């Protein structure tokens, strides 16, 4: 856990240094739009858009995994209840057998 905190601090420091070193103004053109901004901001927005697209591609698998996990938890609960009922029935049968033998 502490490793990830230190790694996050290091990556944050590297990002700040990157931002401070790349302040030149660039023009980005897409179709008819033209946007001017800092190179660092443009790169940050491009990386952010890529991360959002990756999350959108992964979202269906996250949802299916969550549904599968939910179904498995429900099945586990059913099996635990069935096991408890079987143990209870076995205890009743054993106690009934002992009382009839005595």
- For residue 31, being part of any structural domain is answered with yes
- For residue 18, being part of any structural domain is answered with yes
pTM over cut 0.75: no
- Which range marks the domain in which residue 9 is found? 2-72
pLDDT in tens, 28-58: 888 888 988 888 888 888 888 888 999 899 8
- For residue 100, being part of any structural domain is answered with no
Domains contained in the chain, number = 1
Chain centroid to Cα 47, Å, comes to 20
pLDDT (average), residues 14-21: 81
Task: State the angle between helix axes of 39-101 and 2-21 in degrees (0 to 180), rounded to the nearest 10.
Answer: 170
- For residue 60, being part of any structural domain is answered with yes
- For residue 85, being part of any structural domain is answered with no
């Amino acid at each position: 856990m502490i490793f990830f905190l230190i790694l996050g601090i290091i990556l944050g420091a590297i990002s700040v240094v990157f931002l401070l070193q790349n302040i030149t103004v660039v023009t980005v053109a897409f179709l008819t739009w033209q946007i001017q901004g800092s190179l660092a901001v443009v790169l940050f927005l491009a990386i952010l858009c890529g991360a959002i697209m990756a999350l959108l591609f992964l979202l269906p698998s996250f949802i299916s995994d969550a549904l599968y996990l939910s179904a498995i938890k429900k099945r586990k609960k059913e099996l635990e209840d069935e096991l408890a009922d079987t143990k209870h029935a076995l205890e009743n049968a054993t106690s009934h057998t002992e009382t009839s033998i005595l």
